[in-house]
A and B are shown apart, each in its own frame.
Chain A
């Protein structure tokens, strides 16, 4: 275990056992809060008016937009965790980063899938190379690359450093990619520019959207803490097995 030199606020969580105990207490409440937020959100979504052009398909947006929001948020979470790994050497940082990656990829995929389901009736095709969709697709690729990196190296601490550097490079590059893709898309203005969002969002749409965004965020926090707990336990099993090999 790495000894922290400076006192810091997260020091209590640096002890995985204390963290596990805390997660054990918090998880049921978080799960409950997630369920309530989703219940309210779904009711609000069902009550929201259909779009006069898009009909009921506009409701896909209530999944699509929060998923897209989470796709970006999770990369921010991973970047903070990467700093935790590289700068503060926080023992839980790479656990947080590793588990966030697969959840992030899942939300990104959900965003793409929902966008493509929405696109079928709207555009007549499952996929267009729209600037926003394409940016999310590139982000999805970067998530998968990160997961591949974690999967390639068996030793989690060694993989942690490499993944942290890649995450930070990605954090710098994602805005650049976003800018480039926007520029690329406007360059080809003539072909197919569709926007998922309208010119302005009406309050009857905005309220359920915000509640759904909250519900999705709660879902992420719940899943992330549970995944971190699993990862800590998995690493303990690995350590025990290593000890077994060296004790024999």
Chain B
């Protein structure tokens, strides 16, 4: 196994972060990336993880499954801890072990970072150092040969740093690779050093700077050649009867993990699963104040009011669909090393619809009574909402991804998404009205509504995944 980068250059926002960076790390070796603040250490790690594309050059991994990306073979430990405060310590680690593939033993990993006694506590109760140790447990719970560690000792106390050093030495001894961005010694003997010497904003204009103008210094240590065959054992321990089927099973497990996690978070304190219903009720209550308490009028506009209310309420919760994952760093891990991003995004959308869309559908008959709708009309509206709200979620998925990519949440999202939802609104309301006294049959607009939902099922996850991949 050999991880190498050749002639890497990275330009961000028109400024060269670094250029002419080359390295080659063999199994059992560690590479320490050092340099002043802003010299591109984090960028280099993200680049290796596949989260950023290099402007020039490439990173290659030889000697492993050729179909797997580096991200799928690597653990990326970022500054953010990728922990959900409302989940317990065990749930947080359990999610990442299930998500990242063949689950090893989360319990042993927790014990190794001395958090086993706190397994049942919400992660919100942990101190910064404890959270760091919990993220480190991820590296132990699931075996991945390459570790990309960004300032791994940050917030750790002396004991924590010592046990981290031991964990890293064990990983190297088992034939793993470590690339660590650091300011201080990590306690690994014989690690090589790659020193990044800082950006030079002055030469931003040059599109392809000539090589050699700014060489990288290499601190050559003696490469540790002692490596056991432990890593190879673990990799071949996979059932190799049908690798394709095993891979599918792994992907399904990852998707199920995302789905279960998102539903759990939505139902916990601060998840806000029923906030949309409350907003829906508020919108429905406001309408008669604007139109007057005229029951005949309300009955006529009722389906439209319910649809508008559901539409606005489903927009409300979209803001947090990706934003929280981005803030705590989970999104990077989901993008870098898991199942195909389209499917992961789809799983998130399904969980989101179940916790925000479905409650709207369930609540709508009651709100229909408030608007004096006839039972038949209520039934038709509920049916159209049941079919139509998934489309709203899936279209909103694109907006949520864009908002995350542009680092602008809040008001931008509705502005982006609302125009896209117009067709769904048209045919949803048309079908609901047609059920009662429409000039057309219920089936016609309803069939188009179903088609719109199916189309957005295709477009939504793909567009959202494409957006998330190009966030950098």
Contact, CB under 8 Å: A127 / B372: yes
Further contacts, 13 of them, CB under 8 A, given A187-B292, A245-B130:
A116-B369, A134-B285, A134-B293, A137-B285, A141-B281, A148-B274, A151-B270, A152-B272, A154-B86, A154-B124, A184-B289, A191-B294, A241-B121
Q: What's the tally of chain A residues with a CB closer than 8 Å to chain B?
A: 31
Interchain CB contact under 8 A, A128 and B121? no
Contact B278 A148 (CB under 8 A): yes
Point out the residues of chain A lying under 8 angstroms from B285, CB to CB: 134, 137-138, 141
A188 within 8 A of B: yes
Asked if B126 is at the interface (CB within 8 A of a chain A CB), the reply is yes
Q: Is the pair A188, B292 in contact by a Cβ cutoff of 8 Å? A: yes
Q: A138: which B residues are within 8 A, CB to CB?
A: 285
> Is residue B15 within 8 Å, beta carbon to beta carbon, of the partner chain?
no
Query: Does B275 reach chain A (CB closer than 8 Å)?
Result: yes
Residues A248 and B289 in contact, CB atoms below 8 Å apart: no
Q: How large is the interface on B (under 10, 10 to 19, 20 to 34, 35 or more residues)?
A: 20 to 34
Q: A200: CB under 8 A from chain B? A: no
Q: How far is the CA of A137 from the CA of B118 in the complex (A)?
A: 44
Q: Which residues of A contact B125 (CB under 8 A)?
A: 241-242, 245
User: Is B118 within 8 A of A154, CB to CB?
Assistant: no
Q: A181 CA to B289 CA in the complex, in Å?
A: 8
Set A184, A187, A245: member contacting B127, Cβ < 8 A: A245
> Does the CB pair A154–B293 fall under 8 Å?
no
Asked if B369 contacts A248 (CB within 8 A), the reply is no
A153→B295 contact, CB < 8 A = no
B288 within 8 A of partner (CB)? yes
Q: Is A94 an interface residue (CB 8 A)?
A: no
With A138-B285, A144-B278, A241-B125 in contact, is A128–B270 under 8 Å at CB? no
Interchain Cβ contacts under 8 Å between A and B, 23 examples: A127-B369, A128-B372, A129-B293, A129-B295, A129-B298, A137-B285, A138-B285, A145-B278, A148-B275, A148-B278, A152-B269, A154-B86, A154-B122, A181-B289, A184-B292, A187-B292, A188-B293, A191-B294, A241-B121, A241-B122, A244-B117, A245-B125, A246-B127
In contact, B282 and A141 (Cβ under 8 angstroms): yes
Nearest-CB residue, chain A, relative to B123? A245
Q: Mark A207-248, 1 if CB is under 8 A from B, else 0.
A: 000000000000000000000000000000000011011101
Q: Quick one: CB contact mask for B107-138 with A, threshold 8 Å, 1 for yes?
A: 00000001101100110111100100000000
Knowing A154-B270, A244-B118, A248-B117, say if A127 contacts B370 (CB, 8 Å).
yes
- Which 8 A-B pairs rank lowest in CB-CB distance, beginning with the nearest? A129-B293, A245-B125, A188-B292, A129-B288, A126-B369, A191-B294, A154-B269, A127-B370
- Asked if A151 and B269 sit within 8 Å, CB to CB, the answer is yes
Inter-chain contacts of A191 with B (CB < 8 A): 292-295
Please measure, in the bound complex, the distance between the C-alpha atom of A137 and the C-alpha atom of B366, giving whole angstroms: 13
Tell me the bound Cα distance from A16 to B119 in angstroms: 29
Measuring CB to CB, which residues of chain A are less than 8 angstroms from any residue of chain B?
116, 125-130, 134, 137-138, 141, 144-145, 148, 151-154, 181, 184-185, 187-188, 191-192, 241-242, 244-246, 248
**B293 and A192: CB pair below 8 A?**
yes
Decide: A125 and B295 in contact? CB cutoff 8 A: yes
For B372, list chain A residues within 8 Å (CB): 125, 127-128
Q: Which residue of B lies closest to A120 (CB)?
A: B369
Q: Which residues of chain A are within 8 angstroms of B126 by Cβ–Cβ distance?
A: 245
Give the distance to chain A from B153, nearest Cβ to Cβ, in Å.
20
- A-chain residues with CB within 8 Å of residue B122 when the two chains form the complex: 154, 241
Q: Which residue of B lies closest to A154 (CB)?
A: B269
Give the distance to chain A from B40, nearest Cβ to Cβ, in Å.
Answer: 36
Q: Which residues of A contact B86 (CB under 8 A)?
A: 154
Chain B, residue nearest A144 (CB): B278
Residue B103 lies at the interface, judged by CB distance under 8 Å to chain A: no
Q: With the chains together, A152 CA to B118 CA distance in Å?
A: 24
Q: Is the CB of A141 within 8 A of B294?
A: no
Q: Please name the residue on chain B nearest to A125 by beta carbon.
A: B372
Measured CB to CB, the nearest residue on chain B to A126 is B369
* B218 CB → nearest A CB, Å: 42
Q: Which residues of B contact A141 (CB under 8 A)?
A: 278, 281-282, 285
CA of A63 to CA of B384 in the docked complex: distance in angstroms?
37
Q: Does B85 make an interface contact (CB < 8 A)?
A: yes
Q: Tell me, in angstroms, the Cα distance from A150 to B158 when the chains sit together.
A: 39
Query: What's the least CB distance linking B463 to chain A, in Å?
Result: 30
Segment 245-299 of B: residues with Cβ below 8 Å from A: 269-270, 272, 274-275, 278, 281-282, 285, 288-289, 292-295, 298
Q: How far is the CB of A108 from chain B (nearest CB, A)?
A: 13
With known contacts A141-B278, A145-B278, A152-B270, A128–B289 Cβ distance under 8 A? no
